Amino acid sequence: MDGGSVLNSNGTSTIEKANGEPARWCAYSGNMAGVAMFDHRGNPRHPNAFFVMNKAFGYMSAAPTFRAPFELAANQSIRFRWGVLAFSGEPKSEALDRRFQKWSKEG
């Protein structure tokens, strides 16, 4: 999916603006297929930032440490949960919002 496109829950559709922008979900697509990641409402720093790029290759990941690290004590733990949805065609904001809402209620 090199050279792909992005869409997030804020309606952002440019790589430059979406990269590091906190959002409930983020989708990356290219060549008629894509993947969306849903940030669980119980995650620390929800909504989390997402790291996205499309040069030199296509890439997207949740990035809860995009702006700052987490500092944990020796015995302290941290838990994250994300949902992942693969889709075909172009991402549709309304459909992804519905999927996110359904997933959020179930998880």
What's the domain range around 57?
5-106
CA distance 91 to 30: 10
Q: What is the pLDDT of residue 106?
A: 79
Structure tokens at 82: 């994300």
What is the pTM (predicted TM-score) of this model?
Answer: 0.92
Q: What is the DSSP string of 45-103?
A: TSSPBEEEE-SSS-EEEE-TTSS------TT------EEEEEEESS--HHHHHHHHHHH
> Residue 1 pLDDT more than 80?
no
Tens of pLDDT, residues 12-44 = 999 999 999 999 999 999 988 999 999 999 999
pLDDT, tens only, 50-88: 999 998 889 999 999 999 999 999 999 999 999 999 999
Q: Cα–Cα distance between 29 and 5 in angstroms, integer?
A: 5
Number of domains in the chain: 1
